[in-house]
Homo-oligomer: A and B are copies of this chain.
Amino acid sequence: MTVQTEGTGTAGQILDVAERLVQTRGFNYFSYADIAAELALTKPALHYHFRSKALLGEALISRYTDRFFGALNTIDSAGADAQTRLDRFIALYRTMLSSGRMCLCGVFAAEYPTLPPAMCVAVLDFFDRNETWLEAVLRQGVAEQTMVVAEPARDVARMIIDTVEGATMIARAHDDPERFNRVTEQMLSALRA
């Protein structure tokens, strides 16, 4: 149920380092040289695995999205109640924040107008799928009578994503993970029945 795990092989290690650099510095503020230095490789070796930075970016989103929804699947398969599911969703972001990272797609959203088109499509897809997952959890909470959710529930789902992304970003700037905890707790308490 974690989003950041270690990849296998050289390509996997490249993605690991690149992912961390994007989540901490942004897509436009790291270079192939940074990755090469960390892995004791040369730049052409990276280009062998990822022909261009744009393709590396696409691979990053693809793997991140797979892992993120893998984590959501793990949450689902535990058969927990809606409150617990929502708590665990938020814990995914808390874990990233604890290592000074933003959500990968949150970073990409901030840099959106500068991204290659293929990356843009993948970023929007990530958010759309998140909304769908959250909307289902909210409807479960209503059915369990533990949540009060306004209609359309999808807008509430969007509010949750926006708040969590914003809270991650600003708590990291303050270097204060507790800020994230208190803000998300405020948000959750407003949803409780």
Contact = CB atoms under 8 A, between A and B. Distances in A.
Interface in A164-184: 164-167, 169-170, 172-174, 179, 182-183
A161 B167 CA distance: 9
A50 B155 CA distance: 43
B159 A186 contact: yes
A117 to B, nearest CB: 13
The 5 lowest CB-CB distance pairs between A and B, nearest first, are A166-B166, A110-B110, A162-B166, A190-B190, A162-B167
A184 to B, nearest CB: 8
A36 to B, nearest CB: 19
Given A112-B172, A114-B29, A161 B155 contact: no
B173 A158 contact: no
Interface residues of A, number: 45
A contacts with B: majority SS: helix
A34 interface: no
Interface of A: 24-26, 28-29, 100, 102, 106-107, 109-114, 120, 123-124, 127, 150, 155-156, 158-159, 161-167, 169-170, 172-174, 179, 182-183, 185-187, 189-191
Contacts of A191: 190
Given A159-B163, A163-B163, A173-B124, A24 B113 contact: yes
Contacts of A123: 173
Contacts of A25: 111, 113-114
Contacts of A172: 109, 112-113
Given A162-B183, A165-B166, 13 more contacts: A25-B113, A25-B114, A26-B26, A26-B110, A100-B113, A106-B110, A127-B170, A155-B186, A158-B179, A159-B167, A159-B187, A162-B166, A162-B170
